[in-house]
Structure 1
Amino acid sequence: MPLATRRSDVEPLPEHPDFLWRTPEPRKSYDVVIVGGGGHGLATAHYLARNHGITNVAVLEKGWLAGGNMARNTTLIRSNYLWDESAAIYEHALKLWEGLEEDLGYPILFSQRGVLNLAHTEQDVRDSVRRVEANRLNGIDAEWLGPDEVAEICPIVNVSADIRYPVHGATHQPRAGIAKHDYVAWGLARRADEAGIDLIQDCEVVGFRTDGDRVTGVRTTRGDIACGTVALCAAGHTSVLLDMLGVPAPLQSHPLQALVSELLEPVHPTIVMSNAVHVYVSQAHKGELVMGAGVDSYTGYGQRGAFHIIERQMAAAVELFPVFARAHLLRTWGGIVDVTPDASPIVGHTPYSNVYLNCGWGTGGFKATPGIGWCLADTVANGRPHEFVAPFALDRFTTGALVDEHGAAAVAH
């Protein structure tokens, strides 16, 4: 059933230059309750208001807004995925990224510096060229570069032929880049709040009230909240919420960690990724090197991760960038990512007619932020999946219509 409601009882914003958003008490009921106050939840709230005029909405966050994976990712944005279904949603997101600062009226420091995905073996080359051609068929900017061309774009990459993992070339997406994750969250939160949406922090969901195939309310640590529609956007903790509803889903939660170096002069002009050496490296706006690798192999909800992963990704980075051998590690952190068997998200209906699911983004959630917010808001508002998320329905794991993006997600990004 399409939704079309706007709140008229919103508290006015106080006139204070440092004020970001209101801190309202939960109301007794809302037309839409979004569980999860990270990037995806905030983006969904923003586009519900912006695109559909739906503002009787609450975003529930058990901690502080954007304090989970949104604050713990490595900010890479790209759309060079292999399959048509993945390319469509990520390219939609990238196009929104390109206008997001103007849309939000807030700086997000979106820097389109490009991404290089290195190839180190003959099979890497074949797979990479295949992806370039697939990207071009989908209208996505992509090109294949030889080692000398790689060195022209990023002179500090070691392209010597006599090393353990010689660089045979790379795919290149010039429109890819990075953004300041905190600023993105703050911009989305400000716009949602200005529209009258309630952003409720320190509000953990502990259960649901149901009536047949509908959820009628959400039980929280700050009281029960009645709802017309529920959207689950809780990333690594989605399986915990689904257990409360008795809905099985093929999800595993893993720690994903990354690290930054001390501040350095600008030396790294782009983003470099390598599945074979298993690391990716960019340089943040302030000057830190931002490095990541794959998820820890064990499942869990810890936000720290294992030391051997840090050791391996630093060794891999020095393999590709000898110039960084004496750089000092400044800090590390971990997030909790939710991974599906085909490394693609789950978006759409659940067995409950008024509950929508958005999860399983694994290591690619940040780059999808505006795209999934747009599409999930459209799905909730119109009661049917947006065309870009329709292929990612939960039932694909019983029909067999998988979207296998393991090649794109072999290294966290």
Structure 2
Amino acid sequence: MAGSTSGMTPAPRLPEHPPRLWRDAEPRKAYDVVVVGGGGHGLATAYHLAADHGITDVAVLEKGWLAGGNMARNTTIIRSNYLWDESAGIYEHALKLWETLEERLGTQVMFDQRGVLNLAHSLGDVREAKRRVNANQLNGIDAQWLTPAEVGKLAPVLDVSDRPRHPVHGATFQPRAGIAKHDYVAWGYARAAHDLGVDLVSDCEVQGFDTVGDRVTSIRTSRGDIAAGTVVLCAAGHSAVLASELGVRLPVQSHPLQALVSELLEQVLDTVVMSNAVHVYVSQAHKGELVMGAGVDQHVGYGRRGSFHVIEEQMAAAVELFPVFARAHVLRTWAGIVDVTPDASPIVGPLHAHDRAWENAWINCGWGTGGFKATPGIGHAFADTVAHGRAHPLVAPYALERFTTGRLIDEHGAAAVAH
């Protein structure tokens, strides 16, 4: 009969929207602590302020969307095999926290401890690599030296013969190192911080500061003025721009660092392979795509599009080391912005100039290519620093004054391609 619905299949029910992980807050007029920068470090710092120190009157301000900067544009490598004691300390602290992060945040971050290889292609590389292995072992870090044959067993698709232009003479290996899902990490921190009462404010650009004496009293933003008891800058390379508004010139330069992913492939690489000499590092993501990073573009800027010749050189190096990749198709490329200091180590501590110290302003920037892997460690240690008004022992060496005292922590060799 016309118009009858008898025998017709009922329309499928549309799935309900999943619950929001956090609410985008309308900023209030004042907070005890305002964290500028809603990336991994800003979110982790806010979370630890609330979780470890009971400081919940906190706002995280992000000019775009939460974790839309470098947190969404890195290659997710996690390791702690840095040369100097100060670097090994903070990165090993972070790695230990990575190992329990899912339990702490109550969410999956897909931390996969598949190990990281750092290849040696010359006698100089071998000497430097063995030196680092010895230093790591003295610091209690799981570092090993592998022969070319052992490298070949661990990564069979890597050409360890004497044919390549950069033959593999061995490699360092850290078994506990690996990769994680960067979005899941950011979302986990954001949800956990929100659940503890932290306000997460996106689309809120900081445009300046108001000061009285040696204190920052309020922050001028695109969504109104916000009074702050304490100001915490976690805006990576843009921290230098913000600090300049307070009369502090930071020794930080920002450069694009490019990366790319291939189409989805069957699993062929079960570890992370890095090569400083040829500026390429490769892992295979959980879905199957190859994730490759390159060297830093030499020009200074905040643009998120790098130079084509860097990608070209990166691909040439990757194909030489991994002949099996020659027919893989590049799916997309992107660039993150690395903020680099003269000694390739971060700046963490009070914000001050040579003639002025701000009593209630703190800075965390300059991580270069190591920011993602440090996220849990610096979030924990920096929150402790801010809460107690003095440097946590793990970040004390990274104070700004080292550039006037000369007590530098030169990690250029360790951090060359270590995003």
TM-score normalised by the chain length of structure 2: 0.94
Larger radius of gyration: 2
Cross-structure match for 2:228: 227
Cross-structure match for 2:416: 410
Q: 1:397 aligns with which of 360, 379, 403?
A: 403
Displacement after TM superposition at 1:409 (Å): 1.1
- Of 15-24 and 287-296, deviating more is 15-24
Question: Take 2:30 and 2:209, find their aligned partners in 1: how far apart are those partners?
Answer: 13
1:193 aligns with 2:194: yes
SS across alignment from 2:245: helix
SS across alignment from 1:261: strand
TM-score normalised by the chain length of structure 1: 0.96
State whether residues 72 and 183 of structure 2, in contact with CA within 8 Å, keep that contact through their aligned partners in structure 1: yes
Question: Take 1:66 and 1:350, find their aligned partners in 2: how far apart are those partners?
Answer: 24
State whether residues 72 and 333 of structure 1, in contact with CA within 8 Å, keep that contact through their aligned partners in structure 2: yes
Cross-structure match for 2:159: 158
Cross-structure match for 2:242: 241
Q: 1:373 aligns with which of 361, 374, 379?
A: 379
Moved over 3 A (4+): none
Cross-structure match for 1:11: none
Displacement after TM superposition at 1:411 (Å): 1.7
Cross-structure match for 2:33: 32
SS across alignment from 1:398: helix
Displacement after TM superposition at 1:95 (Å): 0.2
Question: Take 2:386 and 2:363, find their aligned partners in 1: how far apart are those partners?
Answer: 10
Number of paired residues?
Answer: 399
1:213-237: CA deviation from partner (whole Å, max 9, x where unpaired): 1101110000000000011000121
Alpha-carbon RMSD across the aligned residues, in angstroms, is 1.0
SS across alignment from 1:247: coil
Cross-structure match for 1:298: 299
Displacement after TM superposition at 1:310 (Å): 0.7
Question: Take 2:163 and 2:17, find their aligned partners in 1: how far apart are those partners?
Answer: 61
Question: Take 1:17 and 1:31, find their aligned partners in 2: how far apart are those partners?
Answer: 32
State whether residues 63 and 202 of structure 1, in contact with CA within 8 Å, keep that contact through their aligned partners in structure 2: yes
Cross-structure match for 1:76: 77
Displacement after TM superposition at 1:318 (Å): 0.5
- Of 403-412 and 221-230, deviating more is 403-412
Question: Take 1:284 and 1:43, find their aligned partners in 2: how far apart are those partners?
Answer: 24
5+ residue gaps, structure 2, are 1-15, 353-357
Q: 1:354 aligns with which of 333, 342, 360?
A: 360
Question: Take 1:311 and 1:359, find their aligned partners in 2: how far apart are those partners?
Answer: 30
1:302-381 aligned at under 5 Å gives the runs 302-351=303-352, 352-381=358-387
Look up the equivalent residue of 1:77 and give its one-letter code: I
Displacement after TM superposition at 1:412 (Å): 3.8
Question: Take 2:91 and 2:19, find their aligned partners in 1: how far apart are those partners?
Answer: 34
1:100-125: CA deviation from partner (whole Å, max 9, x where unpaired): 00100111000000000000000100
Identity value in percent = 75
Look up the equivalent residue of 1:275 and give its one-letter code: N
Look up the equivalent residue of 1:193 and give its one-letter code: H
State whether residues 293 and 412 of structure 1, in contact with CA within 8 Å, keep that contact through their aligned partners in structure 2: no
Look up the equivalent residue of 2:306 and give its one-letter code: G
Look up the equivalent residue of 2:289 and give its one-letter code: E
Cross-structure match for 2:208: 207
Question: Take 2:192 and 2:261, find their aligned partners in 1: how far apart are those partners?
Answer: 30
Question: Take 1:350 and 1:237, find their aligned partners in 2: how far apart are those partners?
Answer: 14
1:55-76: CA deviation from partner (whole Å, max 9, x where unpaired): 0000000000000000000000
Question: Take 1:41 and 1:239, find their aligned partners in 2: how far apart are those partners?
Answer: 16
Cross-structure match for 1:5: none
1:276-291 aligned at under 5 Å gives the runs 276-291=277-292
SS across alignment from 1:245: coil
Question: Take 2:302 and 2:18, find their aligned partners in 1: how far apart are those partners?
Answer: 37
Cross-structure match for 2:116: 115
State whether residues 45 and 192 of structure 1, in contact with CA within 8 Å, keep that contact through their aligned partners in structure 2: yes
Question: Take 1:213 and 1:258, find their aligned partners in 2: how far apart are those partners?
Answer: 42
Cross-structure match for 2:59: 58
State whether residues 45 and 197 of structure 1, in contact with CA within 8 Å, keep that contact through their aligned partners in structure 2: yes
Question: Take 1:133 and 1:179, find their aligned partners in 2: how far apart are those partners?
Answer: 27
5+ residue gaps, structure 1, are 1-14
1:384 aligns with 2:386: no
Look up the equivalent residue of 2:41 and give its one-letter code: H
Displacement after TM superposition at 1:16 (Å): 7.4
Question: Take 1:18 and 1:334, find their aligned partners in 2: how far apart are those partners?
Answer: 32
1:71-100: CA deviation from partner (whole Å, max 9, x where unpaired): 000000000000000000000000000000
Question: Take 1:162 and 1:28, find their aligned partners in 2: how far apart are those partners?
Answer: 65
From the superposition, tell whether residues 248 and 106 of structure 1 become closer, same or farther in structure 2 (CA, over 3 Å).
same
Question: Take 1:189 and 1:157, find their aligned partners in 2: how far apart are those partners?
Answer: 38
Question: Take 2:164 and 2:198, find their aligned partners in 1: how far apart are those partners?
Answer: 55
